[in-house]
Amino acid sequence: MTDDDLDARIRSGKALSESMGNFHVTGWDPAGKTLKAAFTVRREYCHTNGTIAQGGFITAWLDAAMAHAVIHDTAHAQSVFSLEIKVSFYEKVGPGEGRVEARVIRRGRRVAFLEASLYNPEGKLAAEASSTGMLTAI
């Protein structure tokens, strides 16, 4: 792969998506301002002999879903810079297919309030996040 190829993959977001277990949006409900996304929890994201995902990856999946919710809610005109994120962890997240649901709670001219719920490969609610972010033009 050339540097130009890598630069193109970075600009398109493909490199980041792949590094996050092929994180991808699976649905958007404009009425509820709710976004659904999926990803693969790889063993290399896990500690304890490859059985429990490191909390930073969980936070990244929650954060990415909330950002994509803003992008969809603004018809791809804006994204969001996270100013604060609070994450609560309830269940372990091990290798397999995970999913996340994010919601735009309130979006003003400069600030957005967001929430997200992450479900482990067993389908259990494993983590929740709330976030305050500064809106930015794409």
At 5-55, the pLDDT tens digits run: 889 988 988 999 999 999 999 999 999 999 999 999 999 999 999 999 999
Distance from C-alpha of 51 to C-alpha of 115, rounded to nearest angstrom: 26
Distance from C-alpha of 3 to C-alpha of 50, rounded to nearest angstrom: 32
What average pLDDT is seen over the chain? Answer: 96
- pLDDT range class, residue 71, cuts 50, 70, 90: very high
Beta pairing, strands 96-107 & 34-41? antiparallel
Distance from C-alpha of 128 to C-alpha of 19, rounded to nearest angstrom: 22
**pLDDT at res. 86:** 98
Residue 4 reports pLDDT greater than 90? no
Distance from C-alpha of 97 to C-alpha of 80, rounded to nearest angstrom: 26
Q: What is the CA radius of gyration of the chain?
A: 15
**pLDDT at res. 39:** 98
- pLDDT range class, residue 2, cuts 50, 70, 90: confident
Residue 91 reports pLDDT greater than 90? yes
The torsion of the CA quartet 29, 30, 33, 34, rounded to 10 degrees, works out to 10
